[in-house]
Amino acid sequence: MAKKEISKELTLQIPAGKATPAPPVGTVLGPSGINLQEFCTKYNDATRDKMGDIVPVHITIYEDRTFDLEIKTPPTSFLIKKTAKIKKGATKGANETVATLTKDQVKEIAETKLPDLNADTVEAAMKIVEGQALNMGVKVEN
């Protein structure tokens, strides 16, 4: 089988199980010429178990208008806000505290994010998550 030529690569953040051909998905993917309904069906089926989360998807579009999906883990900031039960992070960053997380909660987030982080161990991933939390004004307790 001949190697497919890549036409375009995109990454979108869409609510899990709720992709529709309407904007914003249709606006971004429409010009590429792929079948929007097929994309939405594949994405929704792949993310049905993560309903309520924002799930990034990396889309590789080929010259023949076929595509591949790679489902990523939710953004770290989304997981921190969800775990801390807050709507948004602090406006003054680390100078303001809007919530606190325990080490166990940080470890849970780190384990979820490990496949997509530039870290080999859970401890290294925890440091990355703690840094993100600090920048959002979320304090980590021991």
Q: Which domains does the chain have, with CATH numbers?
A: 6-71 (3.30.1550.10), 76-141 (1.10.10.250)
Q: How confident is the model at residue 94 (pLDDT cuts 50, 70, 90)?
A: confident
What local confidence, expressed as pLDDT, does residue 114 receive? Answer: 92
Whether residue 16 is predicted with pLDDT greater than 70 in this model: the reply is yes
In this structure, what is the dihedral angle of CA atoms 70, 76, 80, 85, given to the nearest 10 degrees? -40
Whether residue 91 is predicted with pLDDT greater than 60 in this model: the reply is yes
Whether residue 82 is predicted with pLDDT greater than 60 in this model: the reply is yes
| Paired tokens of 103 | 């080490």
Query: Measured between alpha carbons, how far is 22 from 38 in angstroms, rounded to an integer?
Result: 13
Query: Measured between alpha carbons, how far is 27 from 19 in angstroms, rounded to an integer?
Result: 12
Query: Measured between alpha carbons, how far is 64 from 3 in angstroms, rounded to an integer?
Result: 11
Q: How confident is the model at residue 60 (pLDDT cuts 50, 70, 90)?
A: very high
